[in-house]
Structure 1
Amino acid sequence: MGEPGADTSEPPPPRRFSINAALDGFFFVYAGLAAVWLAWLVLSETFAFGWFGIAFFVVFWLVLAYLVLPRLHRILTTIYVPDYFIGRARTSDGLLGDPVNLALDGDEASVHAAMRAAAWTRADDVTLASSWRIVTSTITRRSYDEAPVSPLFLFGRQQDFAYQQEVLGNPARRHHVRFWRTPDGWLLPGGRRVDWLAAGTFDRAVGFSLFTLQVTHKIDADIDVERDHIVSTVLAANPDARVVILRDFSTGYHSRNGGGDSVRTDGDLPVLDVSDVREERVAAIEESDISDAAPERVRVVPGVKTS
């Protein structure tokens, strides 16, 4: 018999071997190796076709950027990236994405009402049609206020929705923020309950991802500026909204997101309470603005001249 106060808890049972999990892992790795081999074959054939090799090189880039590197990242990040909350979203390839820099209280209708009142536009879902439209809009520099944002994952699922503000009609430059509903009973580190988490960044240009070579938006490094922009626009447009700042929610740090862009933050986490914002009040304000024919509001963006 053990001594009083001794730990009598039994060790957890050993994890059972699963044939399905083993097969899934095998074919996952096999597909990654096959993708690498395919990329090598395409690259080696490129040099045998003279000028036609340019087309083969484009094919090689497509295979490498959209098949090989994402597959390899998924294999490796399964090993070394934790699957619990660490204050970062993840890309579909498993890489660490944008930092979570905002939290909200309120139901979904209140969040939509608050964002719409603050002149934010809900982003379209990613489809073949919306993807093609943002490509053509970026090339031709034609406005696309509802342009989709790439999926990022938190709690094992992609964002519930996203909002954005296009800058001067250029889809390559935009404020944008993704929202995830928190699981039932989930608490922030420190024990605070919130209804939503969000990640806001500013797209400054279009370029290539450092990690996958895919075409993507490049973000501004100072994500605190974007965080504060989101909070200030919501508070200015919604008198019923309130904010509490969780100081030093995380240690201030600098890192890179899933596209290889530098990010830095002071670690503070604003918690916006929009639970008292109502759709009817927002609709009344919008109707009043239209009847008064108020001039269009100019969105101030650091480093961008508006006149």
Structure 2
Amino acid sequence: MPETPAVPTGRRRVSPGAILDAFFFVLAGFASVWLAVLLATESLGLGWGLLWFAVLFWALLAYLVLPRLHRILTRLYVPDYFIGRTRTSDGLLGDPVNLAVIGNAEQVHAALAAAGWTRADDVTLASSWRIVTATVRRRSYLQAPVSPLLLFDRVQDFAYQQEVANNPAKRHHVRFWRCPDGWMLPGGHRVDWVAAGTFDRAVGLSLFTLQVTHKIDEHTDIERDHIVASIRRAVPQTRLVLIRDFATGYHSRNGGGDNIQTDGDLPVIDLRGMPVAGAPSGAGVPGAGVPGAGVPGDGGAVIELTGLS
């Protein structure tokens, strides 16, 4: 009779460095709260100066205290593995992952450019100041940066957008992450990129951190379908595979506190048939040239479409 493998009974060892790091992480959180309380109490007898202290208190609360508290708390309750949601830099659950792509970087960039999308600038001090002034003055900024969201423990590789009515406060936008080598979607489907697309409808304050941010439209499926349709119109060679019920349909909130809802379907855009100048079709794409390689199969909940209805 085969022996039953022994079950480990010891606790997971934690290094002294990790304990020290956690201690100072929590200490910084409490220090931020103490500083906010101290600032509030010291400002009570300032008269008109209270207005300036109120602004300073809001800035301290929104950009130091609340983000620090969220980082501490989300370490406890937010999973650190793929669940179909991005995360904000504060650890909060962000926008849903609602799109996947098969193809190399050149094909992705070429397809989006052909579909009328503009690559967003990286977030820098200069680009951040420019989007603030453009939003206040309602001046067009076609390459306006998008806030960083995390997936696979890193920020997006790049983002694209379509400005609406020359107003940077309203825009279609989508972030892309290159999938790690060997990584597969739940269900065993291999893709090269995953993306999160949403529509910015206005500028406002985050419900969770009080920071100034874009507010998104809750109907994320409409934005997802807009992205897919724009690419398919511009690139007729595109093959589309739809994974039905990739996630259960749900209503939730993103990292800014905005309502989001989705039916849980995940379109997979296959761009391997798209020629790129200076490179053969499918160059650099794992499985290129092999029928169906890397593409979700036709069984079960996977449906291949010829168009969006």
- Same fold by TM (over 0.5)? yes
1:51 counterpart = 2:39: no
1:36 counterpart = 2:33: yes
1:166 counterpart = 2:163: yes
CA distance in 2, matches of 1:280, 1:100: 30
TM-score (norm 1): 0.88
1:244 maps to amino acid: V
Q: CA deviation at 1:16?
A: 2.0
CA distance in 2, matches of 1:7, 1:90: 41
Q: CA deviation at 1:11?
A: 2.7
CA distance in 2, matches of 1:144, 1:187: 36
Offset from partner CA, 1:148-195 (integer Å, 9 cap, x none): 000000010000000000001000000000000111111111110010
Structure that is richer in helix per residue: 1
CA distance in 2, matches of 1:9, 1:271: 43
Secondary structure of 1:279's match? Answer: coil
C-alpha RMSD of the superposition: 1.2
* 2:299 paired residue number: none
* 1:258 paired residue number: 255
Q: CA deviation at 1:17?
A: 2.8
Alignment of 1:143-292 (within 5 A): 143-280=140-277
CA distance in 1, matches of 2:197, 2:4: 46
Alpha carbons 1:98, 1:199 under 8 Å: kept: yes
1:228 maps to amino acid: D
1:62 counterpart = 2:59: yes
* 1:23 paired residue number: 20
CA distance in 2, matches of 1:254, 1:12: 40
Offset from partner CA, 1:119-165 (integer Å, 9 cap, x none): 00000000000000000000000000000000000010000000000
Offset from partner CA, 1:259-291 (integer Å, 9 cap, x none): 00000000000000112223339xxxxxxxxxx
CA distance in 1, matches of 2:214, 2:260: 14
* 1:103 paired residue number: 100
Structure 1 outlier segments of 4+, above 3 Å: none
Secondary structure of 2:241's match? Answer: strand
TM-score (norm 2): 0.88
Q: CA deviation at 1:10?
A: 4.7
Equivalent residue for 2:8, pick from 7, 11, 18? 11
Aligned length: 278
* 1:121 paired residue number: 118
Flag structure 2 segments of 5+ consecutive residues without an equivalent.
279-309
Alpha carbons 1:255, 1:264 under 8 Å: kept: yes
CA distance in 1, matches of 2:71, 2:180: 24
Alpha carbons 1:45, 1:56 under 8 Å: kept: no
CA distance in 2, matches of 1:267, 1:150: 24
Q: CA deviation at 1:13?
A: 6.0
Offset from partner CA, 1:89-122 (integer Å, 9 cap, x none): 0000000000000000001111001101000000
